[in-house]
A and B are shown apart, each in its own frame.
Chain A
């Protein structure tokens, strides 16, 4: 279809160029070229007379100028009309063929003939039938901008953001779900979890409150228990954290999907760079204290090496700084913090995250 349009455009261009040549009748001899000059010189003479009338030129100068122009007028006398060469329709056609010869390869190189237009409005309209996930999200967002109290909308949006790892947006959507729903432990826990994820794994005081509220509604809710214990641990209340973890573990079935994570957190009560992969954590669980420490250090060093090679991973930097801090290596934590700050100096969000972490870890 689109190729037909292109072909028509090309054909039209060539036709408009070439047809007049093909159809041209032998013409009457054209004006000779000097006729154009004579027209201008006559006009100049008229202008000169106007100048004289207005007094912008002296009489003697006007005479001299009149002589000059008249001389030019005589010099530009009629030239014999030139004979015209034979009509050249084939030449014209041949020349016009350069146009597709140039255009086609250039278009094939850069064009995307099969891609349809995607105007935003149409895309949003058809989002449901085409299953356009991003567009659906925007539609719900637009709906919620007008009806901010539609809890169903927020309930759709939150998991959608979650799937896209848009944690801050997830937290905001969950905040609205909480705001608009009857108190519910599950919803509160999901809200808290989104806050923690948006905060690079750190349970803020605000998030801790949310988990506390969830536990008040359902003391046995695993997600709330886990994050409550984690918060205690991060707040440095080791004994309370251990108690909470122990109680939780005791009531956790051996096949619960969160069990490995829980075990890892517990193994790591004293020193753990958060966010290092779970398999390694499981291995660490069966090691001696010294081996654990050595393994963790080697993992952190590895992370540092990786960041030296490619420093664009903000999460990596945050993990590294936290790990150094937790391992009690304040100097190295400070070094990593400074390096990351220079690396991300143009990114205010990153700087804010780094500064927040530094404050929390007491790095100055």
Chain B
């Protein structure tokens, strides 16, 4: 089983819903929300939070740097 668990926090108001983080994620953690933020973008969210390993790929490709990544060893 996975020895690390991760979690990401998306700044919903900063996210422009480009979807680059969704394809960059190797474990299918992120998805685009059906809801929109105040600017009308479908912001990203963790649809499968238990799969996250905290690899930071989503945060690295995010053009608006609205993702913060946390990781913990278990």
Query: Is B truly associated with A?
Result: no
